Amino acid sequence: MNKLKNDLLLRALKGETVERPPVWMMRQAGRYLPEYMVLRRKYDFFTRVQTPELACEITLQPIDIVGSDAAILFCDILVIPQALGLEVQMVANKGPFLPVTTTTQADIDRLTVEGAEDQLEYVYDAINLTKKELNGRVPLIGFAGAPFTLLCYMVEGQGSKAFNTAKQFCFAQPELAHQLLDKITTATIAYLRRQVEAGADCIQVFDSWSGLLSESDFKIFAEPYLLKIANALSPSVPVILFPKGSWYALENLSNSSASALGVDWCVNPKLARSLTQNRITLQGNFDPNHLLKPIADIKREVHQMIDAFGKDRYIVNLGHGILPNIPVSHAKAFVDAVKSYPNR
Ligand code: CP3
């Protein structure tokens, strides 16, 4: 394997002292980039995901264009439901749609966990190719959706603001919910192990909807499965857990085998640090909407954010994915502000 020329991310994940923190952006490969839009007009979403040459090209775009310190593979969390046997469509202006939802014992029994990871060879091929093309410039992050977040889509069948149907399924039929979460977890662990074998340097697990749960429900339906995934992968590869909105989970998860925790903008950096002490690296938490502010403000706010988190055991990121209407120059200003730290 190529030695990394820029290993800031991996050093921050180990808790080593760094000159400056590393920076990348969730959803950095996406619709704010004109170069992505060219490919988006030519190929449909799952063609882009399933064609290693396209996935590789899209993954590299933000490295070349905005200069992130890490690449994240262009793929989607919904490839696991697909590998378990479900149809997933990406509907224009609407997002994911699963025509058949998973809500009964028979639905769960139909999901094929055995060999599910073998359905996703195109992901491992994309990782292989991307590692080659990166040639050690920056590390490559692999990822998956957390079991609770995938349950949300599998039960609800589409995106939602509150995922009431999915939550009601958990509370009314907890036994079925745990069977489903178990199946997703088993498939996800096998899938992530294959990503690591293919060359992923680090793994992020996106629990995008865990913040819809109360603390006690999080402990039942989200945390055990996040911990199972982290324990299965660590220490062979560093794992970043991103339980979006679940600030109450930080203290407990900071005692887990994960290397880092993602935080959104609703958590004050000082509070996040006091909940986790200096036990774990934190990642986040710039409000993506602040990227519409003037560039001078972005730079000042990024420096203030680094001061608040502290430069060590810290990965600069947004608090959630970058939005399609952000000018590329502002995304680049965000990254450049980190690179110029501590010089104001
Ligand atoms: O971060 C990256 O640059 C890597 C690529 C990536 C995508 N999806 C590509 C994508 C990652 C890490 C994801 C994860 C993902 N997918 C999550 C977790 C992160 C989060 O945002 O909370 C979730 C919940 C999904 C499910 C999903 N995929 C939704 C809800 C949508 C539609 C909404 C949207 O943002 O467009 C997608 C489609 C999707 N996945 C796009 C991209 C670039 C947009 C497709 C397009 O229009 O080109």
Mutate to test the pocket of ligand 1, among 77, 195, 264 (most ligand atoms within 8 A of CB): 77
Over range 144-155, report the average pLDDT.
98
Q: pTM of the entire structure?
A: 0.97
46 within 8 A of 91, measured Cβ to Cβ: no
Q: Is the pLDDT of residue 342 over 90?
A: no
Query: Probe ligand 1: pick from 25, 27, 38, 65, max atoms within 8 Å of CB?
Result: 27
Pair of tokens at residue 234? 């660590």
Mean of pLDDT values over 186-190: 98
Q: For the chain, which residues make up each domain, given as ranges?
A: 8-339
In the predicted model, what is the mean pLDDT of residues 180-184?
99
In this prediction, residue 2 carries a pLDDT of: 58
User: Nearest C-alpha to atom 30 of ligand 1 is from which residue?
Assistant: 95
Q: Is the pLDDT of residue 217 over 90?
A: yes
Q: Is the confidence at residue 1, as pLDDT, over 70?
A: no
pLDDT tens for residues 70-107? 999 999 999 999 999 999 999 999 999 999 999 999 99
Find out whether 241 and 226 touch, Cβ atoms under 8 Å.
Answer: yes
What pLDDT is attached to residue 226? 98
pLDDT in tens, 203-214: 999 999 999 999
Ligand 1 atom at minimal distance to the Cα of residue 27: 1
Q: Check if the beta carbon of residue 230 is closer than 8 Å to that of residue 256.
A: yes
Note the Cα 243 to chain centre separation in Å. Answer: 10
User: Which residue among 27, 137, 279, 300 is the active-site one?
Assistant: 27
328-342 CB burial, b ≥16 within 10 A, e <16:
eebbbbbbbbbeebe
Q: Considering only CA atoms, which residue is closest to atom 10 of ligand 1?
A: 76
**Å from CA of 29 to ligand 1 middle:** 9
pLDDT at 219: 98
Assigned token pair, 268: 């004050």
Is 31 an active-site residue?
yes
Q: How far apart are the first and last CA of the chain?
A: 37
Q: Assign 343 a pLDDT band (cuts: 50, 70, 90).
A: confident
Mean pLDDT of the chain: 97
- Average pLDDT of the residues in 282-299: 98
How many percent of the chain have pLDDT more than 70?
99
Q: Which fold does the domain 8-339 belong to in CATH? A: TIM Barrel (3.20.20)
pLDDT band with cut points at 50, 70 and 90 for residue 62: very high
* Number of neighbouring beta carbons within 10 Å of residue 271: 12
Catalytic site residue from 153, 191, 225, 314 = 153
Considering 7, 69, 76, 264, which one is annotated as catalytic?
76
User: Is position 314 annotated as part of the catalytic site?
Assistant: no
